[in-house]
Amino acid sequence: MEKSQKIIKQSDENCPVRKSLALLGGKWTLLILFQINDRVLRYGELKRCIPDISEKMLIQELNSLVENKLVSKKAYPEIPPRVEYCLTELGLKTLPIADKLASFGLQNLK
Protein backbone atom coordinates (compact mmCIF):
# COMPACT_ATOMS: atom_id res chain seq x y z
CA MET A 1 0.00 0.00 0.00
CA GLU A 2 1.24 3.43 -0.88
CA LYS A 3 1.97 5.87 1.85
CA SER A 4 -1.12 7.97 2.47
CA GLN A 5 1.12 10.89 3.18
CA LYS A 6 2.06 11.28 -0.42
CA ILE A 7 -1.47 12.19 -1.32
CA ILE A 8 -1.45 15.48 0.46
CA LYS A 9 1.07 18.14 1.26
CA GLN A 10 -0.82 20.53 3.46
CA SER A 11 -4.14 20.51 5.22
CA ASP A 12 -5.45 23.67 3.66
CA GLU A 13 -8.95 24.17 2.30
CA ASN A 14 -8.08 22.05 -0.70
CA CYS A 15 -7.25 19.02 1.38
CA PRO A 16 -9.36 16.13 0.13
CA VAL A 17 -9.97 14.88 3.64
CA ARG A 18 -11.39 18.21 4.65
CA LYS A 19 -13.50 18.48 1.55
CA SER A 20 -14.94 15.04 2.14
CA LEU A 21 -15.53 15.84 5.77
CA ALA A 22 -17.31 19.06 4.81
CA LEU A 23 -19.69 17.02 2.70
CA LEU A 24 -20.03 13.93 4.85
CA GLY A 25 -18.99 15.01 8.31
CA GLY A 26 -22.38 15.59 9.90
CA LYS A 27 -23.59 13.52 12.80
CA TRP A 28 -26.07 11.62 10.66
CA THR A 29 -24.84 11.92 7.10
CA LEU A 30 -22.78 8.79 6.68
CA LEU A 31 -25.20 6.81 8.79
CA ILE A 32 -28.08 7.71 6.51
CA LEU A 33 -26.10 6.85 3.40
CA PHE A 34 -25.07 3.59 4.99
CA GLN A 35 -28.64 2.73 5.89
CA ILE A 36 -29.96 3.42 2.45
CA ASN A 37 -27.09 1.47 0.97
CA ASP A 38 -28.17 -0.29 -2.19
CA ARG A 39 -31.82 -0.15 -1.25
CA VAL A 40 -34.73 2.01 -2.31
CA LEU A 41 -36.37 3.26 0.84
CA ARG A 42 -39.40 5.30 1.64
CA TYR A 43 -39.16 8.14 4.10
CA GLY A 44 -40.99 6.21 6.79
CA GLU A 45 -38.86 3.11 6.37
CA LEU A 46 -35.73 5.15 6.71
CA LYS A 47 -37.08 6.77 9.83
CA ARG A 48 -37.71 3.37 11.31
CA CYS A 49 -34.14 2.38 10.43
CA ILE A 50 -32.76 5.28 12.41
CA PRO A 51 -35.08 5.61 15.36
CA ASP A 52 -33.10 8.25 17.24
CA ILE A 53 -33.02 10.91 14.58
CA SER A 54 -35.50 13.75 14.76
CA GLU A 55 -37.81 14.34 11.83
CA LYS A 56 -36.26 17.68 11.27
CA MET A 57 -32.75 16.32 11.02
CA LEU A 58 -33.76 13.43 8.79
CA ILE A 59 -35.56 15.56 6.28
CA GLN A 60 -32.91 18.25 6.47
CA GLU A 61 -30.14 15.75 5.83
CA LEU A 62 -32.07 14.13 3.02
CA ASN A 63 -32.66 17.46 1.36
CA SER A 64 -29.03 18.42 1.50
CA LEU A 65 -27.98 14.97 0.33
CA VAL A 66 -30.29 15.35 -2.65
CA GLU A 67 -28.91 18.82 -3.26
CA ASN A 68 -25.39 17.46 -3.14
CA LYS A 69 -26.27 14.68 -5.57
CA LEU A 70 -25.55 11.89 -3.13
CA VAL A 71 -29.14 10.76 -2.90
CA SER A 72 -31.93 10.80 -5.42
CA LYS A 73 -35.55 11.26 -4.52
CA LYS A 74 -38.61 10.11 -6.34
CA ALA A 75 -42.01 11.36 -5.30
CA TYR A 76 -45.14 9.63 -6.56
CA PRO A 77 -48.23 11.76 -7.08
CA GLU A 78 -50.40 9.55 -4.95
CA ILE A 79 -52.50 9.90 -1.87
CA PRO A 80 -51.24 9.07 0.64
CA PRO A 81 -47.89 10.36 -0.60
CA ARG A 82 -45.06 8.01 -1.41
CA VAL A 83 -41.47 9.16 -1.65
CA GLU A 84 -38.54 6.93 -2.34
CA TYR A 85 -34.90 7.59 -1.70
CA CYS A 86 -31.87 5.81 -3.03
CA LEU A 87 -28.21 6.53 -3.51
CA THR A 88 -26.86 8.09 -6.67
CA GLU A 89 -23.69 6.89 -8.32
CA LEU A 90 -21.82 9.43 -6.23
CA GLY A 91 -23.62 8.36 -3.10
CA LEU A 92 -22.68 4.75 -3.69
CA LYS A 93 -19.06 5.81 -3.70
CA THR A 94 -19.36 6.88 -0.09
CA LEU A 95 -20.26 3.38 1.06
CA PRO A 96 -16.65 2.23 1.39
CA ILE A 97 -16.12 5.03 3.89
CA ALA A 98 -19.10 3.94 5.96
CA ASP A 99 -17.94 0.36 5.68
CA LYS A 100 -14.55 1.23 7.12
CA LEU A 101 -16.27 3.13 9.89
CA ALA A 102 -18.47 0.14 10.60
CA SER A 103 -15.65 -2.38 10.65
CA PHE A 104 -13.52 -0.12 12.81
CA GLY A 105 -16.38 0.13 15.26
CA LEU A 106 -17.08 -3.56 15.22
CA GLN A 107 -13.48 -4.55 15.76
CA ASN A 108 -12.34 -1.94 18.20
CA LEU A 109 -15.21 -0.38 20.08
CA LYS A 110 -17.25 -2.00 22.78
| Cβ neighbours, 10 Å, residue 63 | 12
CA pseudo-torsion sign 36, 32, 63, 97? negative
Q: Which does 83 bind (CB under 5 to 8 A by kind): DNA, a copy of itself, none?
A: DNA
Q: Alpha-carbon distance 107 to 93, whole Å? A: 23
Return the residue of 7, 17, 59, 90 that touches DNA, per CB under 7 A: 59
Q: Which of 23, 24, 49, 57 binds DNA (CB under 7 A)?
A: 57
Distance CA 96, CA 81 (A): 32
In the complex, which residues of this chain contact a copy of itself (CB under 8 A)? 3-5, 7-8, 10-13, 15-21, 23-25, 27, 30-31, 34-35, 37-39, 49-52, 90, 93-109
